[in-house]
Structure 1
Amino acid sequence: MSLLIRPATLEDIAQIEAIVEAAYSPYIERIGRKPAPMLDDYASQVLARRVHVLADQQALSGFVVLIDTEEYLLLDNIAVSPAFKGQGHGRQLLEYAERHAREAGYPTIRLYTNEAMSENIALYTRRGYVETHRVEENGLRRVHMSKVLG
């Protein structure tokens, strides 16, 4: 199966939302409410050209939402369908985000995750991200992380 990362289209919305539902639903009980990515407006994100999908010819396995700022690239969301867990799809999307940031000339890439998603924090730490601070935003306890790009 040949996978490629491409800009998302409006035709991808249903699959993106299905991935979000499958990937984030397990966290609802742990957090006490739906995680922020489950509340996002993906049509708006796609129209803003912020979403890139990992796809073969039939289906999407994951996606990443990247937001340009003046100082850094924000990795706003990355999600992989649980059906593809452990197959390197998340790593491929993360590497794409970092490559995109470098090519755009950003010195750093930043992200945040809910502090209850401890496995995500551990994964990002293994990938070279460092915690910069923790805050409560919109009723969610978030861990902000950053990676200096070389």
Structure 2
Amino acid sequence: MTETIRIATIGDADAVTALTRSAYAKWVPVIGREPMPMQADHAAMIRDHRVDLLLVGQDLAALVEMVQGDDGLLIENLAVEPKFQKRGYGRKMVAHAEQLAVCAGSAVVRLYTNSQFEENVRLYLSLDYEIEREEPLNGGVLIHMFKHVS
């Protein structure tokens, strides 16, 4: 199947909401509440940030939401549709964000995840992200990570 990455438009908001809710649903029993991305205003996210979509054929498989800041590019949200998980699409979207950061002249990519999302923490560590700090949030711990890119 053909894989295509494109920038999301406001017309994609419902699909982005559905994918995000589906991707994060497995974490609700782990943390006892909906993770913050499930509660986000995805139309505003598309309007205010850059959101790139990975399509496999006609199916929306993954997305990455990015915010360019003075201290580098922040990956605000990375989500992979469950039926497309374990195929390398999360890694592909992180690499895509890193390439965009380099093209924008950013030397650092930042992201964060809940400490209880152990699978995500392992993924980011395997991609050479380092833990910068930990922060208490909503009864849990948010792990801030970064990677130098060039």
Contact in 2 for aligned 1:8/1:49 (Cα 8 Å): no
| Most deviating of 99-108 and 40-49 | 40-49
- Higher strand proportion: 2
Deviations 1:53-97 (A, max 9, x none): 001452211100000111110000100101111222111111100
What TM-score, normalized by structure 1, do the two folds share?
0.94
Structure 1 stretches of 4+ with a deviation exceeding 3 A read 137-140
What TM-score, normalized by structure 2, do the two folds share?
0.94
Amino acid of the structure 1 residue aligned with 2:84: F
- 1:26 is matched with which residue? 26
Amino acid of the structure 2 residue aligned with 1:90: G
In 2, distance between residues paired with 1:52 and 1:42? 13
Quote the RMSD (CA, aligned, Å): 1.3
In 2, distance between residues paired with 1:3 and 1:10? 21
Identity between Structure 1 and Structure 2 (%): 35
In 2, distance between residues paired with 1:71 and 1:140? 25
Amino acid of the structure 2 residue aligned with 1:118: E
Task: Mark the CA change 1:40 to 1:140 in structure 2 (over 3 Å): closer, same or farther.
Answer: farther
- 1:125 is matched with which residue? 125
- 2:2 is matched with which residue? 2
- Is it true that 1:46 corresponds to 2:46 in the alignment? yes
- Classify the secondary structure of the residue corresponding to 2:105: coil
Alignment of 1:1-150 (within 5 A): 1-150=1-150
Q: How many residues align?
A: 150
Q: Give the deviation of 1:48 after TM superposition.
A: 2.1
In 2, distance between residues paired with 1:137 and 1:100? 29
In 2, distance between residues paired with 1:59 and 1:6? 13
Name stretches of at least 5 consecutive residues in structure 2 with no aligned partner. none
Q: Give the deviation of 1:138 after TM superposition.
A: 4.8
Amino acid of the structure 2 residue aligned with 1:58: Q
Name stretches of at least 5 consecutive residues in structure 1 with no aligned partner. none
